[in-house]
Structure 1
């Protein structure tokens, strides 16, 4: 695999993993405690979309920062 593609994929995957962790923590500490229906399908769908929002944003930001700071 070419070096640039590997660089992009690893940075996107790392940023996505960090974003998933942050989104999960934010959801469970901030949003889940204020809702009374924690077990219905709409809540699970909202949680998945919320975590995906954090993960996709963090992955692009992580990649952009890595490209900015890469020196070679």
Structure 2
């Protein structure tokens, strides 16, 4: 695997993991779980969108600072 692709995948995956953890914590505090299917969908989408945003930001920052 070329170095640039490996660099991008590892940085995005690391940022996604950080965002997923933070999104899960925020989601548990902001949206109390009542057991309805809609709430699981809201939790999943919130965590995914939060994690993908943080992942792209982490990747962009890593690309900016890499020399």
Q: Gaps spanning 5+ residues in structure 2: where? A: none
**Number of equivalences:** 67
1:52 equivalent in structure 2 = 48
Q: Tell me, what secondary structure is at the counterpart of 2:31?
A: helix
Instruction: Please list, as runs of the form range in 1=range in 2, the aligned pairs for 1:1-72 lying within 5 A after superposition.
Output: 1-32=1-32, 38-71=34-67
Query: Highest CA radius of gyration, 1 or 2?
Result: 1
Within 2, Cα distance between the matches of 1:30 and 1:40?
Answer: 16
Q: Gaps spanning 5+ residues in structure 1: where? A: none
Within 1, Cα distance between the matches of 2:7 and 2:15?
Answer: 12
TM-score for both structures, normalised by structure 1 = 0.88
Considering only aligned residues, what root-mean-square deviation do their CA atoms show, in Å?
Answer: 1.0
TM-score for both structures, normalised by structure 2 = 0.94
